[in-house]
Amino acid sequence: MTNRTALVTGASRGIGRACAAALARAGARVAVAARTTDALEQLAGEIRALGREAFAVPLDLASPESIKEAAGRVAKDFGRIDILVNNAAITRDGLAMRMKRDDWDAVLNTNLTGAFLMAQQVLPGMVRERWGRIVNIASVVGETGNAGQSNYVASKAGLIGLTKALAREVGSRSITINAVAPGFIETDMTASLPKDLRDKALGNIPLGRFGNADDVAAAVRFLASDEAAYITGHVLDVNGGMYM
């Protein structure tokens, strides 16, 4: 990935942070984006300590203006964006019968529309260069469904559909669009779950353990590499076998 520039959204923690570090170790220049800039600056410093270039950029995926500005800043500093990892996402869980329209809109706007708008920003440059990688972070629940998360599930299922549609649109330009669908991953978001829910989830995983952010990052790094040049429109499950 030497001389490639990667932009990772939601890079301030968890899966996004691990993806940024993995791409940097693979040789890419990495732009890390999120709403919390303090954590981004710390991550950028750690990447620079590895001898790699890093650039922190504020990004709010709920804002089309913020998306356009962030992509423009990265392109100005690094010249172009070769790899996009659409990782940033939010949850606002609740039963469908009681879900507020604002909670539905917020999740779809960030998780799905935000990812689409990010792709729109980077695709013209990838088409000109006739090379590009977009990796969308979906979720196992986008494949299985999950009670109490109709908005989140819809956004992740939509992201899988978006992946396949874009893959067909730009494949002739040597641009690949793939998705990674994590299962139960140990992050700040999952650490607070009650023990009974964690035990139940663990019982449904054939490998007998929860995943970690590095498991997901390894899949993202592969799909962003030259070795994955003949893979597009694919959903790579990283879930320990909980969904097959």
Q: Which residues are catalytic?
A: 152
b/e sequence 140-179, b meaning 16+ C-beta within 10 Å: bbbbeeeeebbbbbbbbbbbbebbbebbeebeeeebbbbb
